[in-house]
Amino acid sequence: MSDVKPWSVNLEHGERWWYAHVAELPGCFTRGETHEEVLNSLPKEIDRHLSFLREKGCPSTETTMFLVAQEIHDIAELGEAGGAVALFDTDERPVCKKDLEIFLELIQWNREELLRVVCPLPKEARDARPIHDKWTINETLNHVANAEEWYISRLGEAIQEECEGYIERLDSSLQEDDVLKRLAVTRQGAVHALRAAFSRGVRGTFTRAKYAHYPEERWTFRKVLRRFVEHEREHINTIKRVVEALA
């Protein structure tokens, strides 16, 4: 009998979309319009994610077996800009120093991949809209920067001020149309703020009404870190589809 344990999967469901998240593999998730679709697509995504980790030198099992650990329904505007996302039981686990460094490494790997895709493109390509119902690449990049500032704001006013102050010290003359520079400066401020949140012992479950469409949405430090990884990962895939359409 194999002693390889299956992955634990959390499911969330909104008005349209289902999402499946692998709890032990932050950034490994799939989206689908039905319960069956999202679960059927998960083994392929797990395999892709494990290959990605091995390329980065991370040891990992090769199993794509999984078990659904939790399922949460009726998430408002799930999958839409400004929509809510579920708080899973696994999001309530405390974040240790090792956890923080793993999350920060994952978001750095995401950013490296994103820049490999977009940096070779001229500005006119980043402003083009080859898919009529998709954002341009620059619109998507601005959205990613906005989202990172918003996720930091979930951690409270003091941590938000840490982020904003750090960004201002880096470049108080940042221009709105310099999307790539804004992306870089925002990320530096966000990483500084995440480290500040850890050092100050941010923990527990909290809400924050400011800037929120859904002020009662519950957050933890781990959920904020998870969303940093997942959100950029999802938009990297979107940008790749736009780049293919440009070609």
**Domain limits, the chain:** 7-86, 90-246
Q: Are 225 and 95 in contact (CB under 8 A)?
A: yes
The fold adopted by the segment(s) 7-86 is Double Stranded RNA Binding Domain (3.30.160)
Task: Report pLDDT for 170.
Answer: 84
Task: Report pLDDT for 3.
Answer: 72
Task: Report pLDDT for 11.
Answer: 98
Backbone φ, ψ for residue 32 (5° rounding): -155, 170
Distance CA 230, CA 147 (A): 11
Tens-place pLDDT, residues 85-111: 999 999 999 999 999 999 999 999 999
| 7-86 and 90-246 agree in CATH topology | no
Task: Report pLDDT for 1.
Answer: 42
Q: Which residues neighbour 188 within 8 Å (Cβ) at sequence distance 6 or greater? A: 166, 167, 170
What is the reported pTM?
0.94
Task: Report pLDDT for 114.
Answer: 97
The fold adopted by the segment(s) 90-246 is Four Helix Bundle (Hemerythrin (Met), subunit A) (1.20.120)
Task: Report pLDDT for 173.
Answer: 60
Ranges of the chain with pLDDT below 50: 1
Task: Report pLDDT for 2.
Answer: 55
Tens-place pLDDT, residues 171-210: 756 555 689 999 999 999 999 999 999 999 999 999 999 9
| Greatest extent of the chain over all pairs of C-alpha atoms, in Å | 62
CA 160 distance to own-chain centroid: 18
